Amino acid sequence: MTIIAQTPKITIREFLPEEMETYLAHFNDEQLLLYIPKRSRQQRIDIFTTALSKYAESKTNGIWGMFNSADGAFIGSCLLRPFNDNPAVLELGYSIERQLWGQGIASEMARAMVAHAFADDSINEIIAMTSLPNTASQRVLEKAGLKRVENQTRDGEELACFRLSR
């Protein structure tokens, strides 16, 4: 298991196969689901198993678990993935257990993931998108250095878009 980033509050690391149910249970919160792409349980299983299989290929892009650095409790997940199939531009995404919202965890994660992405010299830019009402995530992205740019449309939904270039 590879640790991607570690801060005083969080450890971002590869998921273990036995953590699939923890990952899936995370997406049972209806309020959380308001702010992330809609997926079926089977799609989430496929995402998780694909993430496990790709860990050997790349340490720069993938889906990782976030865990409390002190006690190892599950916090959520985060990802970096090529944006519009461009391997030099990564999209940052994340979701955090609702009871942990507003505690600075997302800001810490976003700064750590930006640093992780830009440690790879082939990455030129980071993109992130949020639903328009998700102003808390928009503040998180700004704290991590991303700047608001023109809104984008994805799957028929207008989204706030943020960018950070090297």
Joined tokens for residue 149: 């740019």
* DSSP 8-state symbol, 125: E
Say if residue 86's pLDDT is above 80: yes
Which of the 8 DSSP states describes residue 130? Answer: E
Q: Nearest Cα to 98, choosing from 12, 31, 28?
A: 31
Distance CA 69, CA 21 (A): 20
- Residue 145 is predicted with a pLDDT of 95
Residue 136 and residue 102 in contact, taking contact as beta carbons nearer than 8 Å? yes
Confidence category of residue 1, pLDDT binned at 50, 70, 90: confident
- pTM of this structure: 0.90
Taking alpha carbons only, the member of 85, 91, 164 closest to residue 128 is 91
Structural fold of domain 3-165: Aminopeptidase (3.40.630)
Residue range 119-131, pLDDT digits in tens: 999 999 999 999 9
- The residues spanned by each domain of the chain are 3-165
